[in-house]
Structure 1
Amino acid sequence: MVIKAIPPAALSLSDPTTTLQTYLESLSRPLYIIFIASPDPATDAPWCPDVRAALPIFNRVFEESEEELSVVTVQVGDKPAWKDANNVFRREWGISAIPTVGKYSVIDVDGQSIVAVRMLVENDCADEDKLRAFIN
């Protein structure tokens, strides 16, 4: 399995409406975005215990996949920034809990391309069987 790194210039998470669809159309396969807590400066580990528990499972499951996957990890901010109702990931991306794995793909609906989104959220991210089923 190859985890394809996403160059920062190729995908702007601050404008999810057009940039994401354009990027997905050029990618021609799903994009997985893993939303996690930013590191705590004192420990250099994510401040959220659920994220800390899920990280080894993310690494194992995504690395063991037999398919080429496009994966990007996004830090949602420190605890106060994440708890703010105006956090860009809450407001623009619909992320309500971390960790969250989003599976983004372009599908055709009545001749129109739209971005389809599936989410695996919080405790389900730390369930290895659910995560494997989600990416397959």
Structure 2
Amino acid sequence: MSKYEEISVHGYEEFCKAVEDRKGKDIFAYFSGDKDASGKSWCPDCVKAEPIVRGEMSHLPEGSVFIYCQVGERAYWKDPNNDFKKTLKLTGVPTLLRCGTPQRLVEENCFKPDLVRMLFTED
């Protein structure tokens, strides 16, 4: 039995619903480029970061929520008016953030296990 809940969502609407359904909980979100049928993302940095982020998930706080969100195909992500960029102010993928706080790791910072662990463990 893990001490946190993990959810996988696809797209902005599903992400918002997952957050809304878990209001009041400590929510961490990881944003990645869409994966193809073989499970490989179009985003090479996302491919590199995911095992590092997953390797630090044992440090997630008890009772917290981890949302794995695929942001869409490359063309959608590149659109400066997509909801992730416009509303959530994401600047790149991968992005790991703690919802409701300014804490976030973007792109190559997600490659650093110590930074990922710090985001998961510091209030």
Using structure 2 for the length normalisation, give the TM-score.
0.79
Of 85, 92, 98, 1:90 maps to 85
**Structure 1 length as normaliser, TM-score?**
0.72
Asked which structure has the greater RCO (Cα within 8 Å, sep 6+), the reply is 2
Alignment match, 1:123:
108
Counterpart CA distance in 1 for 2:65 and 2:74 is 27
Q: Relative to 1, partners in 2 of residues 1:86 and 1:70: Cα closer, same or farther, differing over 3 Å? A: same
In our comparison, the structure showing a higher alpha carbon Rg is: 1
Cα pair distance change 1:86/1:5, threshold 3 Å: same
Question: 2:23 is matched with which residue?
Answer: 24
**1:40 partner letter:** D
**Distance in 1 between residues matched to 2:50 and 2:6, nearest whole Å:** 17
* Runs of at least 5 residues in structure 2 that lack an aligned partner in the other structure: none
Q: Kindly provide the CA deviation profile for residues 32-91 of structure 1, in whole angstroms up to 9, marking residues without a partner as x.
A: 0101110135x43011110000010111100x2263231001111111110011111111
Structure 1: 5+ residue stretches without partners: 105-114
Residue 24 of structure 1 and its aligned partner are, at CA, apart by 2.8
Tell me how far apart the structure 2 counterparts of residues 14 and 67 of structure 1 sit (CA, whole Å). 21
Alignment match, 2:65 = 70
- The alignment covers a number of residue pairs equal to 116
1:1-136 residue pairs with structure 2 within 5 A?
Answer: 1-6=2-7, 12-14=14-16, 20=19, 23-25=22-24, 27=25, 30-41=26-37, 43-62=38-57, 64-65=58-59, 67-68=61-62, 69-104=64-99, 115-136=100-121
With over 3 angstroms needed to count, the CA separation of the structure-2 counterparts of 1:44 and 1:132, relative to structure 1, is same
Going by fraction, where is strand more abundant, 1 or 2? 1
Deviation at 1:102, TM superposition (A): 1.2
- Structure 1 vs Structure 2: percent identity of aligned residues? 24
Cα gap change, 1:56 to 1:7, in 2 (>3 Å): closer
